[in-house]
Structure formats: structure tokens, C-alpha cells
Chains A and B, each alone.
Chain A
Amino acid sequence: MTRPHQSAGHARHEALLDLYVDGELSFADQPALFAHLADCAACRAQFNALMAFRVAARQEHLPVTPSMDAAFFARLDQAKRARPHPAATRAEDRQPFRGLERRVSVRTALVFSLVLFAVGLLFARPVDPEPAAVPVRVVETEDPAEALYVIYPGITIEDERNASRSERAVDTD
């Protein structure tokens, strides 16, 4: 019988065997593994051990009994009761402002609102006038076929076609 775990090649096939039993080995790699299993008794024993373990593992039933369910829900209920109630928390949150609360009449509230409105009007910013229109200077031209120059401060754009035409005009002259 071949001794297990002898070489790097053997370890590689063991790793392939692991992938195979986990359903992760590609079809392309399976023939190499099967060829090795045919020759290696140690790997066959390893394969049988893995399968035996799996069978034993899956036939063991570990049920959760109704009494375990009941015990859990009793514990959950206890945990819920132990937590502070949301309403109590809210009351606690409002506690520091409790002394500042005061009832007022509708008339007082109305007067106070009007005063606030008047103060707001006093400090209201005037609406910005419409922004001044940007002056646009329109230049009309009668013959668009002629050279057209756009002159902007610092930039001059010249059409090449017009440049060649002016050269031709110079030649004819």
C-alpha cells in the first residue's frame, strides 16, 4: 500500500480530492484525479474515509424539541420585558423641559404671531432687481462669402479658406 502524503504531487491530488468531494472540481481536472485514484491506494482510503464521515454526519439527527422552543420564547419574552419601554424612554427624554411648558390663550398666540410677522417684514430683504442685460453689439454683413474675421480681445480667428482665396487674388494680380 502506498504511504500517504509522500510527495508534493500526492498532496496536489489530495487537494483535488478535497475539491472533488466539495463539488468544486472542474470536469477538466477530474480525469487526472481518477487516474491517480486508480494507482494510489492511500488516496482511495482517504476518499472512502471522507465519504464514510459524510454519511455518518448526515445520518445524525439533532432535533430541536418543542420544550427547547418554549424555553427560547420564554427567554425572549423575558428579554423584551427587561428592555425599557419606548414610552417611558420618551417621557424621560422630555423630563428636562417639563418645567418650561406653559398654557397660553389663542389671542396671545395670534398677537405673538402677528408681531413676529411684522418684525419679519421690517427685516425682509428687497427682491433683487432683474439683472442688467448684457449689451450685445450686432454687426451686419452683406456678403457672407467674403472672409469673415471674428475679433475678440486677445484672440483673432481666421478662416483658412478665406486665407487661400486672398492668396489666389494676389496671384491673379
Chain B
Amino acid sequence: MSATPDSPDRPRRHARDAATVIEDRSLIEAFQNGDEFAFVSLYSRYKVPVYGFCAKLLLDREAAEDVMQETFLRVYENRDRLLNAGAFRSWLFTIARNQCLNHLRTRGRTRPFPEHAPEPPAPSRETPFRHLLKAEQVDLVNRFLGELSPEYREVIVLREYQNLSYDEIAAVTRNTVSSVKSRLFKARRKLGAFLQPWIEPSTEALPSTASPSS
């Protein structure tokens, strides 16, 4: 088993990532030199990913909004602490993650749905996943995330929703890459077991050689 950089979409993805990092770096440097417009640009660029990350980790949109605001406030106030402007994305998600974990600790437990709202019934297991309505699919996925502990949820959200690399996830969660892979592996195993009733036993064609990660 080896992780090598020769997947077909890698050069394109790396070029895109490099361009983003360079733009981030110039924006961060301008922001650190007192340019407020640079901060607004960074906020506009990252508000959706950060909000999405918080919403999926907390499973509570109201709390996610609050945590997102707190995250960007801390970015604004601690701009001088970011020594490597190229690592802005990891730094930002680290702050967001810490805020989310603090929130979860304060709240004590994960609440996938507001207490006053009755929990909608799960989609019928007789309907295959691909024939479910989009809202039902999203609901099912949220149910699965709600069953995961935060340590598994955060890696799968960072990987599947935010498309962070193993290295970036390791930096955000302050873990080793092998630990990240291990947690992803276990989380995906739980996912397979959870979705099994909705997944048709397939005799379909095998995946093509093109990588599905793009």
C-alpha cells in the first residue's frame, strides 16, 4: 500500500491549491500590515467553508453561526500569531475546531435536532439510497453524523465536506497522519454499516481508473 502523488487529478489539484495558498499568503500579509479590506476578502473566501464545518460538527446551525463569528473574531484579534501565512487554512480550521469542541463541552451532548421539533421519521429502508429525495439523503447523512463521536465526525467532515488533505487534517486536529487515516477508516466503516440497509447489493461495473476524489 502506498500513497503516491500520481493520481490523475493530482497535478491539477495541486496547481489550484498552490494558487489559493499564494493568494491567501498575500491577503494575510496585507491584513497583518493593517489592511482591513484584506480581512474582508479572507472572510468572504472562507465564511462558507467555516460555517459548513461548524454546522456539520455541531449539527446545529444556530450554534454554528455563533461559532463561525467567534472564529473570525479570533482570526482578527490574533493575526500576529500566524507566523506561516501559507498555513492559513489549517490555522483557521484549527480555531474553528477548538471553538466547536468548546461549544460541545459546554453543551454537554450533541443535539442533532432542536428539542422542540419532533424528529422526522427515517427514510424507508425499502427505498434505495439513490432513489431517496435529496432532502432525505441529507437527513440520513446527518443522522449518521449525529451517531458519530466528535473525534470521528471531525475527520470525516474535514475530508468529505471541506476536502482537506490528510496533512491538513492532521494539522487541524493536532494528530499524526497515520492517526487521521485510522480514524477515517473507522468512521467510514461505521458509515458502511449505517447505510447498508439503503445500499443495493450491486453487480454494477467497477469504478473507473479515474480517481473519484475530484
Contact = CB atoms under 8 A, between A and B. Distances in A.
A64 B211 CA distance: 31
A52 B132 CA distance: 11
**Contact-residue bracket for chain B:** 35 or more
Contact of B209 (A12, A30, A54, A58): A30
A7 B55 CA distance: 37
Given A19-B3, A21-B212, A23-B213, A69 B47 contact: yes
A169 interface: no
A49 B185 contact: no
Interface stretch (A40-48, A89-97, A114-122, A128-136): A40-48
Contact of A64 (B7, B48, B134, B161): B48
A64 B51 contact: yes
A141 interface: no
Main secondary structure of the interface of A (DSSP, over half): helix
Contacts of B212: 20-21, 23, 51, 54
B110 to A, nearest CB: 18
A49 B161 contact: no
B7 A57 contact: no
Contacts of A100: none
Interface of B: 1-4, 6-7, 9-10, 13, 43, 47-48, 51-52, 55, 61, 65, 68-69, 72-73, 76-77, 129-130, 134, 137-138, 140-141, 144, 159-161, 166, 181, 184-185, 188-189, 191-196, 198-202, 204, 206-207, 209, 211-214
Interface of A: 1, 4-5, 12, 14-16, 18-30, 34, 37-38, 41, 44-60, 62-64, 68-69, 71-72, 75-76, 79
